[in-house]
């Protein structure tokens, strides 16, 4: 039995292209793995807090020394890391906001990137600890960033690949609904992205 973690980071609910694209990826995964369990996490609703002093203090306190207040501070982080380790497939909905990811997704990343849990430093340098995962990114953008003059302004895919890879998730496939706000491209942009999905694993 496979577990699919689907992260949503668009506030646009039923109008969102990244949510529709992500769900299409999930559907294809379910077709391949009919007994799979889907855990859809809406990061907009979850509203992970920005990292503050109590979070940081708790992150770097040994488990046996954590107070009740410390444990409360890392509740979001512990739960998100648990969901991540339990998943075989991770589908990340990533709308492009001001050339980067939505802050709700950034907050999730800040809570899951934890030294000693999802990565560690060894004598050989940094080592990702979240291994054997297949990640799909469902990106949506008003413009076109996969090629052309705006390609260098795509801080979504290179960033996600870097930070996920740092935590050990190196097998990342990207699907894009792009040009969704461009008159000549918006018609059929989502359908073209969905038609390009070919899940593996």
Q: Which is nearer to ligand FMN, 33 or 192 (CB)?
A: 192
Binding mask 75-114 toward ligand FMN (x if CB under 6 A, else -) reads --------------------xxxxx---------------
b/e code 29-41 from CB counts within 10 Å (16+ = b) = bbeebeebebeee
**140 contributes a contact to ligand FMN by CB under 6 A:** yes
Cβ atoms within 10 Å of 187's Cβ, excluding its own: 12
Phi, psi of 128 (to 5 degrees): -75, 140
Alpha helix (H) residue ranges in the chain: 17-32, 43-46, 53-59, 68-73, 75-86, 103-112, 157-166, 189-195
**Tokens coding 99:** 């050339």
Q: What is the separation, in whole angstroms, between the first and last Cα of the chain?
A: 13
Residue 148 found at the interface with ligand FMN (CB under 6 A): no
| Sole window of 13-21, 61-69, 103-111, 163-171 interacting with ligand FMN (rule: CB under 6 A) | 13-21
DSSP 134-145: EEEEEEEESS--
Closest to ligand FMN by CB, 81 vs 180, is 180
The Cα–Cα gap between 19 and 190 comes to 11
Counting contacts by CB under 6 A, is residue 43 touching ligand FMN? no
Instruction: State which of residues 143, 166, 171, 174 lies at the interface with ligand FMN (CB under 6 A).
Output: 143
Stretch touching ligand FMN by CB under 6 A, among 52-60, 67-75, 122-130, 141-149? 141-149
Nearer to ligand FMN, 80 or 156 (CB): 156
Distance in Å, CB of 171 to ligand FMN, minimum: 23
| Structure-block tokens of residue 151 | 């390609």
Looking at the Cβ atoms of 12 and 32, the one nearer to ligand FMN is 12
Q: Which lies closer to ligand FMN via its Cβ, residue 129 or residue 197?
A: 197
Q: Which residues bind ligand FMN (CB under 6 A)?
A: 10, 12, 16-19, 95-99, 140-143, 180-181
């Amino acid at each position: 039995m496979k577990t699919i973690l689907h992260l949503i980071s668009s506030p646009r609910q039923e109008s969102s292209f990244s949510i529709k694209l992500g769900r299409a990826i999930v559907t294809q995964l379910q077709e391949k793995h009919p007994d799979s369990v889907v855990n859809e996490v809406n990061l907009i609703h979850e509203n992970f807090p920005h990292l503050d002093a109590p979070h940081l203090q708790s992150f770097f306190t040994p488990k046996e020394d954590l107070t009740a207040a410390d444990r409360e501070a890392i509740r979001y982080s512990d739960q998100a890391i648990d969901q991540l380790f339990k998943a075989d497939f991770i589908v990340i909905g990533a709308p492009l906001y001001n050339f980067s990811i939505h802050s709700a997704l950034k907050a999730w990343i800040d809570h899951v990137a934890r030294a000693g849990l999802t990565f560690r430093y060894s004598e050989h340098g940094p080592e990702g600890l979240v291994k054997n995962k297949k990640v799909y990114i469902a990106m949506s953008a008003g413009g076109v960033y996969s090629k052309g003059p705006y390609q260098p302004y795509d801080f979504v895919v290179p960033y996600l690949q870097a930070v996920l890879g740092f935590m050990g998730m190196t097998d990342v496939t990207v699907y894009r609904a792009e040009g969704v706000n461009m008159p000549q491209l918006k018609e059929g942009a989502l359908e073209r992205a969905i038609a390009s999905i070919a899940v593996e694993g």
